[in-house]
Amino acid sequence: MGAQRPDRGRDKASVVVRGVSRVFPGDLRALDRISLEIHAGEFFTLLGPSGCGKTTLLRLLAGLEVPDAGEVEIGGRAMAGVPAHRRSVNTVFQSYALFPHRNVRQNIAFGLEMQRVSPAAIARQVDEIAELIDIGALLERPVDALSGGQRQRVALARALVNEPAVLLLDEPLSALDAGLRSRLQVDLKRLQQRLGMTFVFVTHDQEEAMVMSDRIAVLDEGRIAQVGSPQAIYERPEDVFVARFMGHENLLAVTRHDAGGVETALGRFEGGFAAGTHLLLRPEALTLHADAPPGSSGNGFLARVEECLYRGAATDYRLRCGEVPIAARVTNAGRSQPGVGDTIWVEVAPDSAATLNARRHTG
Amino acid sequence: MKSPLERALRVFWLLLMVFLYAPLVVVVLFSFNSINSSARFAGFSLEWYQRLFSNDVILSALANTALLAVMSTLIAVVIGALLGYGLYRYRARRMAWLIWLIYLPVIMPDIVFGISEMTFFITLERLFGVLSPGLGTMVIAHVTFQVPFVALLIHARLLALDPQLFEAAQDLYARPWQRLRFFLVPVLWPAIMASVLLALTLSIDDFVISFFTAGPDSTTLPIYVWSAIKKGITPEVNAIATLMIGSVFVVALISLLLRRRSLTGRHLQ
Q: What are the residue boundaries of the structural domains of chain B, listed by start? A: 53-264
Question: At A92, which helix (H) or strand (E)?
Answer: strand A89-92
Instruction: Identify the burial level of A45 via C-beta atoms within 10 angstroms of its C-beta, where 0-12 means exposed, 13-18 middle and 19 or more buried.
Output: buried
> Are A230 and A286 in a shared domain?
no
pLDDT tens for A215-241 read 999 999 899 999 999 999 999 999 999
Mutate to test the interface with B, among A114, A122, A126, A174 (most CBs of B within 10 A): A114
> In this predicted structure, what is the pLDDT of residue A2?
38
Residue A3 has pLDDT above 50, yes or no: no
What are the helix (H) ranges across chain B? 4-31, 47-52, 56-89, 97-107, 110-128, 135-160, 164-171, 176-179, 185-205, 208-213, 221-229, 235-264
The answer to whether residues A31 and A56 touch, using CB atoms and an 8 Å cutoff, is: yes
The lowest-confidence range among A117-121, A135-139, A168-172, B235-239 is: B235-239
Task: Give me the sheet containing A278-281, strands edge to edge.
Answer: A251-253, A278-281, A353-356
> In this predicted structure, what is the pLDDT of residue A28?
61
> Are A49 and A120 in a shared domain?
yes
What is the span of the domain harbouring residue A218?
2-235
> In this predicted structure, what is the pLDDT of residue A295?
64
Residue B201 has pLDDT above 90, yes or no: no
> Are A186 and A317 in a shared domain?
no
Q: Categorize the per-residue pLDDT at B267 as very low, low, confident or very high, splitting at 50, 70 and 90.
A: very low
Q: Categorize the per-residue pLDDT at B43 as very low, low, confident or very high, splitting at 50, 70 and 90.
A: confident
> In this predicted structure, what is the pLDDT of residue A185?
93
> In this predicted structure, what is the pLDDT of residue B261?
65
> Are A24 and A153 in a shared domain?
yes
> Are A51 and A106 in a shared domain?
yes
pLDDT, average across residues A157-168: 95
CATH of the domain at A345: 2.40.50.100
The DSSP string of A262-306 is: EEETTEEEES-PPP-SEEEE-GGGEEEESSPPTT--S-EEEEEEE
CATH of the domain at A62: 3.40.50.300
CB pairs under 8 A between A and B: 74
Mutate to test the interface with A, among B167, B172, B187 (most CBs of A within 10 A): B172
In a domain, A167, yes or no: yes
Mean of per-residue pLDDT scores for chain A: 89
A84 φ/ψ angles, rounded to the nearest 5 degrees: -55, -40
Rg (CA), chain B: 23
> In this predicted structure, what is the pLDDT of residue B91?
82
Residue A144, chain B, CB below 8 Å: the answer is yes
> In this predicted structure, what is the pLDDT of residue A27?
67
Give the span between the Cα atoms of B5 and B15, in whole angstroms: 15
The ipTM, to two decimals, is 0.84
Neighbours of B64 (CB within 10 A): 22
Nearest CA-CA distance, residue A74 and chain B, Å = 15
**How many angstroms separate the most distant Cα atoms in chain A?**
78
A279 φ/ψ angles, rounded to the nearest 5 degrees: -110, 130
Residue B103 has pLDDT above 90, yes or no: no
CA angle B233, B234, B236 (to 5 degrees): 130
Nearest CA in chain B to A92: B168
Residue A101, chain B, CB below 8 Å: the answer is yes
Higher pLDDT: B162 or B101? It is B162
> In this predicted structure, what is the pLDDT of residue B214?
86
Instruction: Choose one of A172, A200, A235: the last residue of a domain.
Output: A235
> Are A80 and A131 in a shared domain?
yes
Higher pLDDT: A96 or B54? It is A96
> Are A197 and A277 in a shared domain?
no
The total number of structural domains that make up chain A: 2
For residue A69, the 8-state DSSP code is E
Higher pLDDT: B33 or A64? It is A64
In a domain, A361, yes or no: no
pLDDT tens for A71-83 read 999 999 999 999 9
> In this predicted structure, what is the pLDDT of residue B265?
47
> Are A224 and A113 in a shared domain?
yes
> Are A80 and A119 in a shared domain?
yes
CB-based contacts of B70, cutoff 8 Å, min separation 6: B200
pLDDT tens for B235-258 read 788 888 898 888 888 887 887 787
In a domain, A248, yes or no: yes
Q: B53-264: what CATH class?
A: mainly alpha
> In this predicted structure, what is the pLDDT of residue A71?
94
In a domain, A8, yes or no: yes
The lowest-confidence range among A43-47, B111-115, B166-170 is: B111-115
> How many helices and strands, by DSSP H and E, does chain A display?
8, 21
In a domain, A258, yes or no: yes
Residue A162, chain B, CB below 8 Å: the answer is yes
Higher pLDDT: A98 or A362? It is A98
pTM value? 0.82
> Are A134 and A254 in a shared domain?
no
In a domain, A363, yes or no: no
In a domain, A69, yes or no: yes
CA angle A263, A269, A272 (to 5 degrees): 100
Residues of A within 8 A of B269 (CB-CB) are 103, 142
Higher pLDDT: B157 or A333? It is B157
Q: Categorize the per-residue pLDDT at A9 as very low, low, confident or very high, splitting at 50, 70 and 90.
A: very low
> Are A37 and A73 in a shared domain?
yes
**How many angstroms separate the most distant Cα atoms in chain B?**
73
Residue A6, chain B, CB below 8 Å: the answer is yes
The answer to whether residues A296 and A290 touch, using CB atoms and an 8 Å cutoff, is: no
Instruction: Choose one of A188, A203, A235: the last residue of a domain.
Output: A235
> Are A231 and A248 in a shared domain?
no
Nearest CA-CA distance, residue B266 and chain A, Å = 8
> In this predicted structure, what is the pLDDT of residue A296?
62
Residues of A within 8 A of B173 (CB-CB) are 5-6, 85-86, 111, 114-115, 162
pLDDT tens for A173-199 read 988 888 889 989 999 999 999 999 999
State what percent of residues in chain A have pLDDT above 70: 92
> In this predicted structure, what is the pLDDT of residue A111?
96
State what percent of residues in chain A have pLDDT above 90: 62
Residue A99, chain B, CB below 8 Å: the answer is yes
Residues of B within 8 A of A90 (CB-CB) are 171-172
Task: Give me the sheet containing A223-228, strands edge to edge.
Answer: A89-92, A166-170, A198-203, A43-47, A215-220, A223-228
Give the span between the Cα atoms of A115 and A2, in whole angstroms: 8
Nearest CA in chain B to A91: B171
Question: At A78, which helix (H) or strand (E)?
Answer: strand A77-78
Q: At what angle do helices B135-160 and B235-264 cross, to 10 degrees?
A: 30
Best mean pLDDT range from A180-189, A287-296, B69-78, B149-158: B69-78
Nearest CA-CA distance, residue B162 and chain A, Å = 7
Mean of per-residue pLDDT scores for chain B: 86
The lowest-confidence range among B17-21, B143-147, B217-221 is: B217-221
In a domain, A60, yes or no: yes
The answer to whether residues B113 and B209 touch, using CB atoms and an 8 Å cutoff, is: yes
pLDDT, average across residues A11-22: 89
> In this predicted structure, what is the pLDDT of residue A193?
92
Instruction: Choose one of A202, A235, A268: the last residue of a domain.
Output: A235
